[in-house]
Structure 1
């Protein structure tokens, strides 16, 4: 495997994009998922491509179907040094989070995570996470930062249902709290019966991540975003090894429909 490739199994390659053509494939997948499917209001100068000013500063991780060359899942990673060049992490567009500047060591932010509709399975997100886990080791990451999205076209009923459970078990220490720039309106009605936690958020929590406060509304994407932070000292090593050691099994599961993982 090349240095860019992190895993190859059962007809799929998990790797970092190495040129603009590969990056554009991830951006086309983002457009398909976020704009066409979710109805997000994306701003782009090129039809069928979802981009923003952060892309050029990020590493782009993709899962490619080798038989077709199709990108079936992707995420982007913004490292601390690159964020300092821009002046902020993407998350800080949605949250006031002064604590981030005080985090010592290597901080990496995940964003724009998505999976093609034909590959939404435990295996699809497992393959992507296997690559993320490899990079966490390779880059010696101290903190993993991100926004996990919850659909919010129901006046906030689902996100508030989930938050009721998260507040009890998964909130960060007060010193690591963020303030949403656009708070989600409180929901005073009944909770959603059988509310399903988005798989990306579930993966973060299983790894040991914290939710850093109340959600922020992203009106363009129609979601509420939760800032999450994983301190590697708090890592659930058993679950982390689950990503590192089960890539082949994950690949066997690709194509069995479950839920999509998305994030801003």
Structure 2
């Protein structure tokens, strides 16, 4: 089902096996490299819906992500994120939730409109289904925290989750940046080193865990990221809805 046509791109939602296979190939290419024939897959793929962003003229898949809808926080322990974070606090969230994951853009495509269209599609789904929270894992490339210290210091100072929702440590190897970092962030460097997806969450009022998980399998550092829809600034909501229509 096509959700959005915007400029040269279209976004559509799918649960079809052949589309999921295409997304898995793009994910492997984006996360691990290779020739585009190998796949990145796990058991969550067939529990989730997937959004594909394609070039309208050629049909080339340029971006994809998956999402899992929850009626409320009761099933939070069954999510992908719960493998890495202790999410007991979020069991009390009383409203529809979406876990977003495996977000990637084709490494040969750098058009910023791709990210805008992806968020426009998600905005459309959120509005149509009354979703009240988005959450997931936002990843920094590589496992060397030293290259991201300014970004982590900015997260510590400005974007730690409210205590009522704060994820606790569960993974065996983590970087406790909120407790360990003492540096004052260089805000320019922090923005430069912040992953684009996480930067977008933060611009909308999102928050993060107080620690990053060291994920050797994916070769990333990732932080749990949450966004309550009611917290999105009105001007940002208007911009997102303009993209989604």
- TM-score, length-scaled by structure 1: 0.80
In structure 2, the residue matched to 1:132 is: 122
Contact 1:57/1:82 (<8 A) preserved: no
Q: How many residues align?
A: 235
- TM-score, length-scaled by structure 2: 0.86
Q: Choose from 235, 238, 258 the match for 2:235.
A: 238
Q: Distance in 2 between matches of 1:209 and 1:87?
A: 21
Q: Which has the higher contact order (CA 8 A, sep 6+)?
A: 1
Q: Choose from 163, 175, 184 the match for 2:175.
A: 184
Contact 2:119/2:240 (<8 A) preserved: yes
Q: Choose from 2, 5, 21 the match for 2:2.
A: 5
Secondary structure at 2:78's aligned position in 1? coil
Does 1:50 find its partner at 2:40? Answer: yes
In structure 2, the residue matched to 1:258 is: none
- Runs of 4+ in structure 1 deviating by more than 3 angstroms, as ranges, are 81-87, 185-193
- Give 5+ residue unaligned stretches, structure 1: 38-46, 249-264
TM-superposed CA distance for 1:161, in Å, is 2.4
Q: Choose from 207, 210, 216 the match for 2:207.
A: 210
In structure 2, the residue matched to 1:89 is: 79
Q: Distance in 2 between matches of 1:96 and 1:85?
A: 13
Does 1:163 find its partner at 2:160? Answer: no
In structure 2, the residue matched to 1:42 is: none
Q: Distance in 2 between matches of 1:234 and 1:185?
A: 26
Q: Choose from 105, 110, 114 the match for 2:104.
A: 114
